[in-house]
């Protein structure tokens, strides 16, 4: 009788412990959107320069790379009064 009670108690404990655990989300494969989002988040944490970040982001997103650069306006001097397009800057 004691052996049967011990086995039954062990079985019930194992069943309840199995029901109490939640399925892990990392056991299922990531969707394409989730993979892309994780890659973008990792890219944002890498501390790249602006140009490198834009190049790698365009590659991840599958977009053509845009060229970023300075406009041909030149540098501004805070001590100099300059009017651009009819407004002071």
**pLDDT tens digits along 36-73:** 999 999 998 998 888 888 889 988 888 776 665 555 56
Q: d(Cα 6, Cα 3) in Å, to the nearest integer?
A: 5
- Tens digit of pLDDT for each residue in 17-38? 777 666 666 677 888 899 999 9
Q: d(Cα 60, Cα 53) in Å, to the nearest integer?
A: 10
Residue 85 has pLDDT above 60, yes or no: yes
Evaluate whether 61 touches 78 at the Cβ level (below 8 Å): no
């Amino acid at each position: 009788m004691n052996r049967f009670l011990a086995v039954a108690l062990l079985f019930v404990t194992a069943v309840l412990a199995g029901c109490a655990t939640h399925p892990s989300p990392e056991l299922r494969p990531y969707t394409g959107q989730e993979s892309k989002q994780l890659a973008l988040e990792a890219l944002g944490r890498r501390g790249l320069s602006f140009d490198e970040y834009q190049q790698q982001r365009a590659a991840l997103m599958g977009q053509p790379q845009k060229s970023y650069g300075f406009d041909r306006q030149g540098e501004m001097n805070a001590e100099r009064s300059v009017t651009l397009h009819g407004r002071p800057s």
